[in-house]
Structures are given as structure tokens and as C-alpha cells.
């Protein structure tokens, strides 16, 4: 009986093995291995999946990274130890991350990088001078004695048409009498006397009498012993040749009048400055006597000669002078703009000048700020040209950039203090595997390569 059962069991086992082999062969034929049936995950499994938290290797002393601790603690100054991870998290964007609230509290203000016309600027000195085109000489066309002189000193103001002096001239007095007689004869016989009257009137005009004075003489018929001299223009007396009671000849000048409504400014240019200077360049003037006051003008003329004493060439400028603020002889400081060309420019306040170079704080997406080294060019009107380092349309920080730059430098120093642990490199754990660090003494010194402290500035502060 037992033998029959054993035979039946072996037969059943053989049949089962045969059926299984056949199903495997048929399944591989109808369902290739390259086809897989997707399996949907449960929503709960998706929600529970989260990135692994980085493992802390040890805690480093913030003042001396060579001192480690196996648990969080503070040093003797109350500063918390810094955790050092096996794999430091990488930043999603380079630069310093500042949220909107912090940026508002710091007063961060950004401005765009614009293209402006900026030229090279150099400073020089100048002297205010009288505009020689506005100097008038008062010279009578006759000789005589000065009976009355209205102006007595240089600098006295005069108005156009005002009487400057009264001169007794026998020559003019005789000519006036001849005109009176010719005028009476012309009235008596118009045909014969008109020619004499015209000749006598022409003589008076050549002597300098005005048409109004000649008409007045014809009406009154009385010759004047004293001839008035009137001012041809308004201004100040620049020079007086004679004084009251003196004799004045026809070849000499009575006085000179300078109109100061417009003045010249003569600036000195050295030889190395001449190649870039052109007529029409912009010039700004400032005077220490009037702080904050700026006069703007254009370079009008370059003198063709050079001063042999100081080896300079004089450039002439013309400025309106309302109120007579610019006085001849006054020294001024001049700034000349040359070679004006379009440049990418940022405000002067946006540039940080450090020992390492010139930097600006560039605003990036997501509230990130990145220090960028730039190559600066000429400056004018509060703007500085950027030769290299920025592109048009980018925004840079115009206010509180020093705080952002200092913070970025602090993070850089902190990364160097912690060596390679925050540079994305894996650091060997004290013990392999995921076992926690053993409990040891509170502090222990670990020798580190000297390169971890290279470039660290411990006492100088940030740039």
C-alpha cells in the first residue's frame, strides 16, 4: 500500500513540473521581458517620501575651527558651535539670499544699468576776464578842456546815454556858430543858402554831435560853449585818461567802459590735455566764494600760442553774468569734459571701492544679491562708466550695498573657516556607517591642514 502511494506521488510531481515548465516557456513567448506593467503608488507613500536630512559630523568652534565637539554647545564667550555636515546642502542660486522684509528693513534700493554719454574729465584753474567784445572807448573827435567830469574813478557804474563829461572846445563852438548863420541864410533865401547849411551841418556831425543836438541848435539858434559827452553803453569805467580841468586832444581817449553782463573765463591747459580738447566741449565752473554754485558753458576758443613761462595754452570760455557775480580777476576751478561717448553707467554711490578692486552688488532673481567686480571708467554728473562686468538692463544696489557686501564676505570667510565641509565635498565621518558619533570629552583638538585657514582675515574687517 505504501509503495502505491509513493508511485502516485512521484507521478503527480512529474506532471506538475512539466506543466510549470510549459507555462514558463509560453509566458516568455507571449510576454517579452522588455514590457513592464506600471504599478501605481499609494498617495500615502508619495506624501511620506522626503529628502534625507544631512548627517552632522561634529560641531566646530566659531572662533577656532580646529576645536570640535560631539554635541551642541557654546564656547566661553557664549557663541554657539557651528554644525558641520557630511554633505553640505548646495545653494539653489549663487549669492546672498535676502527676503523682501529684510531688504525693506535694510533700505535696499536698486537702479538699472543705463547707457549714458560720459566723457573724460580733467580739472584745471581759470581766471575771470573782461569780454573784450564788450569794451567801449569814449574818444571825442575834437580838442578841448574838461569843465565837468561825471565819473571820477575806475569802477564807477555808468548807464547808456548818461552824460559823462562837459568839454569846452573852441573848434566845436566855431562850427556851431557857422551852422546858425547858414541856417538863417537858408531861411532867408532857400535856393542859395541850403548848400551852406548842409555843409555846416555835415561838419558838426563829423565832429561828433548827434542829430538831436543839431536839431536843437537849429531851433534855438544859440551856440553852446560846452559840448556834452554821453556814454555809448552801460557798464563800469575800466580806465580814465584825464581828470576834471585837464586838456583833451583829438588823438587821446577820455575813458573806457566795460560791459560785464557777459564775461570771459580763461583756463590753462597743459600739453598732455590738448589732444582731447575741442572747441565746443562742456566746461563747468565753481568758485570757492560761492559754494554750491555751478556755471555751465562751452569752450569757445583755443589760443594759437603757448605761455613760455608755465608752458600752458589758454582756452577761452564765455559766460553770462547776471548780477555781476563773476568779477574780472576772480580765480575759479574748471572741469572740462572731453571725448564724450555713450557708456554703460551706474550711480557713483553704487560702486564699492576696495583694496581688491571695484565691486557692485548685482540683484538676481529670487531675492539673491551677488557681488560683482567691475572695471570702471570716467565719471561725470554723479555717474560712473562701467567698462566691463555689467550688461544693460541689469539692476544694481544703490543703497545699503555695503551691508550686503559685508554679509557676503562674512559667508565667504565662514566657508573658508570650515574648510572643505561646506564646499560640497564629502568629509569622512569619525565612524563608518550611520552610527552616531561616540560620546567623548566636551572639546578635543584635531589637527587640520593649514590650507583651511588660508586667506583668512582675522582682524582687518571687510573691504
Q: Of the residues 227, 256, 285, which one is the last residue of a structural domain?
A: 256
305 within some domain: yes
| Parent domain of 390 | 98-115+343-415
What CATH number did the domain enclosing 243 receive? Answer: 2.40.50.100
On whether both 126 and 266 belong to a single domain, the answer is: yes
Total number of domains in the chain: 3
Beta bridge pairs of residue 262 = 320
Does the pTM surpass 0.75? The reply is no
Contact 226, 145 (CB under 8 A): no
Render pLDDT for 398-418 as a digit per residue (tens, 0 to 9).
Answer: 876 556 666 555 555 555 555
Distances (CA, A) of 411 to 59, 262, 399: 17, 60, 20
Q: Of the residues 198, 222, 256, which one is the last residue of a structural domain?
A: 256
On whether both 228 and 187 belong to a single domain, the answer is: yes
- Which has more pLDDT, 30 or 340? 340
430 within some domain: no
Q: Of the residues 313, 342, 371, which one is the last residue of a structural domain?
A: 342
Confidence of residue 44 (pLDDT cuts 50, 70, 90): very low
**What whole-number distance in Å separates Cα of residue 324 and Cα of residue 235?**
10
Q: What average pLDDT does range 423-430 have in this prediction?
A: 38
What CATH number did the domain enclosing 126 receive? Answer: 2.40.30.170
Q: What is the pLDDT of residue 95?
A: 60
Render pLDDT for 141-181 as a digit per residue (tens, 0 to 9).
Answer: 889 999 999 988 898 999 998 999 999 999 999 998 888 88
On whether both 150 and 251 belong to a single domain, the answer is: yes
25 within some domain: no
To which residue does cell 580733467 refer? Answer: 122
Q: Which residues, at least 6 apart from 359, have a Cβ–Cβ distance to it below 8 Å?
A: 351, 352, 371, 372, 373, 374, 405
Q: What is the pLDDT of residue 168?
A: 92
Render pLDDT for 105-126 as a digit per residue (tens, 0 to 9).
Answer: 667 788 899 888 877 778 888 9
Q: What average pLDDT does range 59-71 have in this prediction?
A: 80
On whether both 153 and 203 belong to a single domain, the answer is: yes
On whether both 126 and 271 belong to a single domain, the answer is: yes
145 within some domain: yes
**What whole-number distance in Å separates Cα of residue 179 and Cα of residue 288?**
60
Top mean-pLDDT range of 37-51, 129-143, 268-282:
129-143
54 within some domain: no
What CATH number did the domain enclosing 392 receive? Answer: 2.40.420.20
Amino acid at each position: 500500500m505504501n509503495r502505491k502511494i509513493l508511485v502516485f506521488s512521484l507521478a503527480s510531481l512529474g506532471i506538475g513540473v512539466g506543466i510549470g515548465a510549459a507555462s514558463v516557456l509560453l509566458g516568455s513567448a507571449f510576454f517579452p521581458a522588455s514590457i513592464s506593467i506600471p504599478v501605481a503608488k499609494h498617495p500615502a507613500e508619495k506624501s511620506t517620501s522626503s529628502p534625507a536630512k544631512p548627517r552632522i559630523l561634529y560641531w566646530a568652534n566659531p572662533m577656532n575651527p580646529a576645536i570640535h565637539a560631539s554635541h551642541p554647545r557654546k564656547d566661553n564667550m557664549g557663541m554657539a558651535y557651528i554644525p558641520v555636515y557630511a554633505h553640505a546642502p548646495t545653494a539653489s542660486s549663487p549669492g546672498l539670499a535676502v527676503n523682501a522684509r529684510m531688504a525693506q528693513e535694510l533700505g535696499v534700493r536698486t537702479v538699472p544699468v543705463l547707457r549714458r554719454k560720459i566723457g573724460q574729465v580733467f580739472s584745471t584753474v581759470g581766471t575771470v576776464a573782461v569780454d573784450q567784445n564788450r569794451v567801449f572807448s569814449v574818444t571825442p573827435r575834437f580838442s578841448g578842456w574838461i569843465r565837468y567830469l561825471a565819473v571820477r574813478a575806475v569802477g564807477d557804474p555808468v548807464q547808456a546815454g548818461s552824460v559823462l563829461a562837459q568839454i569846452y572846445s573852441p573848434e566845436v563852438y566855431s562850427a556851431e556858430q557857422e551852422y546858425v548863420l547858414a541856417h538863417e541864410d537858408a531861411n532867408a533865401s532857400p535856393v542859395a543858402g541850403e548848400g551852406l547849411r548842409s555843409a555846416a551841418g555835415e561838419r558838426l556831425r563829423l565832429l561828433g554831435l548827434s542829430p538831436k543836438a543839431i536839431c536843437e541848435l537849429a531851433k534855438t539858434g544859440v551856440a553852446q560853449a560846452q559840448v556834452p559827452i554821453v556814454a555809448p553803453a552801460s557798464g563800469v569805467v575800466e580806465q580814465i585818461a584825464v581828470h576834471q580841468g585837464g586838456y583833451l586832444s583829438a588823438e587821446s581817449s577820455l575813458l573806457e567802459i566795460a560791459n560785464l553782463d557777459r564775461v570771459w573765463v580763461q583756463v590753462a591747459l597743459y600739453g598732455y590735455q590738448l589732444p582731447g580738447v575741442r572747441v565746443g566741449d562742456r566746461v563747468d565752473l565753481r568758485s570757492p566764494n560761492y559754494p554750491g554754485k555751478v556755471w555751465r558753458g562751452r569752450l569757445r576758443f583755443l589760443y594759437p600760442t603757448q605761455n613760455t613761462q608755465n608752458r600752458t595754452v589758454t582756452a577761452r570760455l564765455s559766460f553770462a553774468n547776471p548780477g555781476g557775480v563773476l568779477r574780472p580777476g576772480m580765480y575759479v576751478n574748471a572741469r572740462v569734459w572731453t571725448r564724450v561717448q555713450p557708456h554703460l553707467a551706474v550711480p557713483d554711490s553704487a560702486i564699492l571701492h576696495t583694496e581688491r578692486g571695484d565691486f557692485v552688488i548685482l540683484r538676481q532673481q529670487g531675492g539673491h544679491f551677488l557681488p560683482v567686480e567691475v572695471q570702471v571708467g570716467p565719471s561725470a554728473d554723479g555717474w560712473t562708466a562701467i567698462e566691463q562686468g555689467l550688461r544693460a538692463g541689469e539692476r544694481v544696489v544703490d543703497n545699503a550695498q555695503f551691508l550686503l557686501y559685508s554679509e557676503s564676505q562674512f559667508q565667504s570667510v565662514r566657508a573658508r573657516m570650515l574648510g572643505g565641509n561646506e564646499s560640497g565635498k564629502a568629509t569622512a565621518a569619525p565612524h563608518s556607517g550611520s552610527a552616531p558619533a561616540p560620546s567623548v570629552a566636551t572639546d578635543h583638538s584635531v589637527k587640520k591642514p593649514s590650507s583651511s585657514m588660508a586667506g583668512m582675515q582675522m582682524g582687518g574687517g571687510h573691504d
